[in-house]
Amino acid sequence: MLLRKLARSVTVALALVALSCGLAPMGYAYEKAVEGPDVVKDKLFPKKSVIELDTKVGSVLNGSYIQTFMLNGSLTYFWSENWGFSAEGVFALNSDKAERACIETFYNDPNFAIGAQCGGAANLAEDSKGDANFGPAYVPIRELNYIGTGNFVWNPLYGKQLVLLSFTTYFDFFISFGGGLAISKYYPQQNNFPDGTPQRGVFCTKEEAAKPNGCSTANNPGTIDENLVGIAGRPQPLSQSNVLTHVSVGQRFHFMKRFELLASLDNYLLIGTPQTFDSYITLYGGLGVRF
């Protein structure tokens, strides 16, 4: 009896082992089908041999005295799922910020009599002692006109995400780097008026000049001529071309198989400027199509 029960137990154990061995490949196949990397590799939006045409609009984030908007067009070809090459052209639109208008109409106000720091000639009358005048500051300013670049594009990440728990979007993250040429209009620093009079500096007031052994007002900086300040008083701009390096990080959101929304943060670094380097950090958003 004991031997019979032992034989039955051994038989059941062997059957369970055989069953588990038979189910193991099925379990592995299921895991591979729904959880393995092959699911991600089977892209709905593959890159290899694809051409992407993008148009973007951006704004330079670190401009102190001018606001620059960028109109960008690029054509990218991918020779693999991760690598491609892009040709990019940029047209820049510039406008003065209030800060530029202010520094170009600064006052020399030795008596601290004028309430505003900058403005028109009417405010000069606030100085009852008659010393105040214009003392504009013309700092180096570059206005971008055109940029052309060539870039290698690397796509290290591809995936999908659930938006608002209602629909799925597919995306890829990219990094591009390269170089090119920038054409710009450069306003050099100006410290003197055309007649050689300094725009700003040590000031001798009429009250100090009237004292025994007082100073002379003949060498005072500034002017009361409103035609020598503001836009009219700017130095002659120089047309310049500079080589640049370009780095960009961004993300594309794919939809309808051929279209994409994209956003990127770009840095154009001009080399060989009077300040050695000029950096333009630009935030872009745009639309693209795949061929």
Alpha carbon of residue 86 to chain centroid: 18
β 83-96/66-78 pair status: antiparallel
Per-domain residue ranges of the chain: 51-115+141-184+240-290
**Would you say 282 and 61 are in contact if contact means Cβ atoms under 8 Å apart?**
yes
Distance of CA 63 to the CA centre of its chain: 10
Q: Which two tokens stand for residue 80?
A: 């693999």
> Are the beta carbons of 229 and 223 closer than 8 angstroms?
yes
The token pair that represents 197 in the structure block? 């009079």
In this structure, the dihedral spanned by the alpha carbons of residues 77, 81, 83 and 84, taken in order and rounded to 10 degrees, is 0
Query: What are the pLDDT tens digits along the chain (291 aa)?
Result: 444 544 465 454 445 444 444 444 444 444 444 444 444 456 677 788 899 999 999 999 999 999 999 999 999 999 999 999 999 999 999 999 999 999 999 999 999 999 999 999 999 999 999 999 999 999 999 999 999 999 999 999 887 776 666 667 788 899 999 999 999 999 999 999 999 999 999 999 999 999 999 899 999 999 999 999 999 999 999 999 999 999 999 999 888 888 999 999 999 999 999 999 999 999 999 999 999
Q: How far apart are CA 47 and CA 257, in angstroms?
A: 12
pLDDT at 256: 84
Quote the CA–CA distance of 165 and 159 in Å, as a whole number.
Answer: 16
Please tell me the distance from the alpha carbon of residue 65 to that of residue 9, in angstroms, as a whole number.
88
The SS3 of residue 291 is coil
DSSP code, position 224: S
pLDDT at position 168, please? 74
Classify burial at 75, counting beta carbons within 10 Å of its beta carbon; exposed 0-12, middle 13-18, buried 19 or more: middle
CA distance 47 to 79: 8
* Residue 109: CA count within 13 A, CB half-sphere: 18
Check residue 38 and give its pLDDT: 46
Query: What confidence score (pLDDT) does residue 28 get?
Result: 42
Biggest distance spanned by C-alpha atoms of the chain: 136
Instruction: Just give the CATH number of 51-115+141-184+240-290.
Output: 2.40.160.20
